[in-house]
Amino acid sequence: MYESCAIGRPKTELRTPALLLDLDAVDRNISKMAGFFASRTCRLRPHTKTHKLPLIAHKQIRVGAIGVTCAKLEDAKGFVNSGIGSVLIANEVVADKLPELVGLSQIAEVISCVDVYDSASALSVLAQKARMKLDVLVEVDVGLGRCGVAPGKSTVDLVRRISSLKGLRFRGLNGYEGGVFIPDEAQKEKECRRRNQLLVETRALVEKAGFAVEIVSAGGSNTFGITGVCEGITEIQPGSYATMDAWNVKFGQPFELAVTVLGTVISRPREDLAVIDAGLKALSIDLGLPTVKGLDGAEIKTLTDEEHGRLVLSGEARRLAVGDRVELVPTHGCTTIPLHSAYVAIKEGVAVDVLPIMSRSAAY
């Protein structure tokens, strides 16, 4: 973990590789999203899988978020323990994880998802033993092809079956269309609305069958401006917007890049080549190569080494010397951030805190 002696240092003097978090940019991003939803009926329940930081979650709630969304039970436990009172686990919790879900639900509002009857039945048994009711949403597959029951009749049938189970409280539906990354804005909006319509029409069928639907949760940072104004969607789960990354910016998201990775030049083997101490263990490349911030003429052409990054240089960038710092913008924050143990929080170019990243492992 980064040493506390980083606090008070200019970012150009920090030990590297370091994950930098621009707190002012984070605050502006949070305010912008909160402002969009301030006068809308759809509520904001931000996803935490990108930032994995209670500080950000509490900032989001202070300006209007109704709670947070998590991807894993481990994440949910961490945010509840930090004082968050309402958590949606937008995923299925099964098998030996169920007792922990029941325990966590006794200290905060925890809503989980189901998409098969057997999982709901197992959860019902444990809920009855604990003499409590557990909140569940039925997850609907609106096109992602991941978890979820088919929209329409299949969802109605599952709702009918789980509503008969003691110890469970059916509260609504969960769908996710946020993965619609389409460059053409008109096509993107059309596809996003098509998927949302599947969810909203399924809600109508569930209600027609006699079951109240309190929550219809959907969306992501990529689609907040479309899904957030879709009639019938009650809450939205954007996550990346708080910290942003180059991938989302590429698809038109109006938020600032608040996370970067700082590296140091460790070698200058040729005039047109610099090697830095940030490689695959510091930056993910699942959505493409990172870009160099604020240094014209420097470009990462490949990133194939664990501890080395190769910068191809031209023009003014050829002045880089061993010991110089280079700031890189990740393409995908969700997969870069958990490569690090902590953020170095930055304000006006100076480190002000070291913030551990929560539940980095893939344990559960």
149 band by pLDDT with thresholds 50, 70 and 90: very high
- What are residue 356's DSSP bridge partners? 342
Q: Tell me, yes or no, whether 253 lies in a domain.
A: no
Domain match, 352 and 218 both: no
Residue pair 140/184 in contact by the 8 Å Cβ criterion:
no
Quick: pLDDT tens for 29-84.
999 999 999 999 999 999 999 999 999 999 999 999 999 999 999 999 999 999 99
Residue pair 141/92 in contact by the 8 Å Cβ criterion:
no
Residue 363 has pLDDT above 90, yes or no: no
Question: Mean pLDDT score of the chain, rounded to an integer?
Answer: 95
Domain match, 149 and 282 both: no
Quick: pLDDT tens for 89-115.
999 999 999 999 999 999 999 999 999
291-292 vs 325-329, strand pairing mode: antiparallel
Q: Tell me, yes or no, whether 263 lies in a domain.
A: yes
Query: What's the whole-model pTM score?
Result: 0.96
Q: Tell me, yes or no, whether 251 lies in a domain.
A: no
The alpha helices in the chain, defined as continuous H runs, are: 23-37, 54-62, 73-81, 98-105, 117-129, 153-163, 185-208, 224-227, 246-250, 333-336
Domain match, 43 and 97 both: yes
Domain match, 44 and 180 both: yes
Residue 289 has pLDDT above 70, yes or no: yes
Domain match, 123 and 211 both: yes
**CATH code assigned at 145:** 3.20.20.10
Domain match, 100 and 216 both: yes
Q: Tell me, yes or no, whether 147 lies in a domain.
A: yes
String of DSSP letters for 317-354? GGG--TT-EEEEE-S-HHHHGGGSSEEEEEETTEEEEE
- Which of 207, 242, 277 is a domain's end point? 242
- Which of 187, 214, 242 is a domain's end point? 242
pLDDT at 209: 98
Residue 2 has pLDDT above 70, yes or no: no
Domain match, 44 and 60 both: yes
Residue 5 has pLDDT above 80, yes or no: no
pLDDT at 362: 58
Domain match, 230 and 288 both: no
Domain match, 264 and 191 both: no
Phi, psi (5° rounding) for residue 211?
-115, 125
- Which of 242, 272, 290 is a domain's end point? 242
Q: Tell me, yes or no, whether 109 lies in a domain.
A: yes
Q: How many domains does the chain have?
A: 2
**CATH code assigned at 294:** 2.40.37.20
Q: Tell me, yes or no, whether 364 lies in a domain.
A: no
Phi, psi (5° rounding) for residue 263?
-125, 170
| Cα(16)–Cα(264) distance, integer angstroms | 6
**Residue span of the structural domain in which 268 resides:** 4-17+258-356
pLDDT at 244: 97
- Give, to the nearest 10 degrees, the angle between helix 153-163 and helix 185-208: 40
Residue 171 has pLDDT above 70, yes or no: yes
Residue pair 290/276 in contact by the 8 Å Cβ criterion:
no
Domain match, 194 and 323 both: no
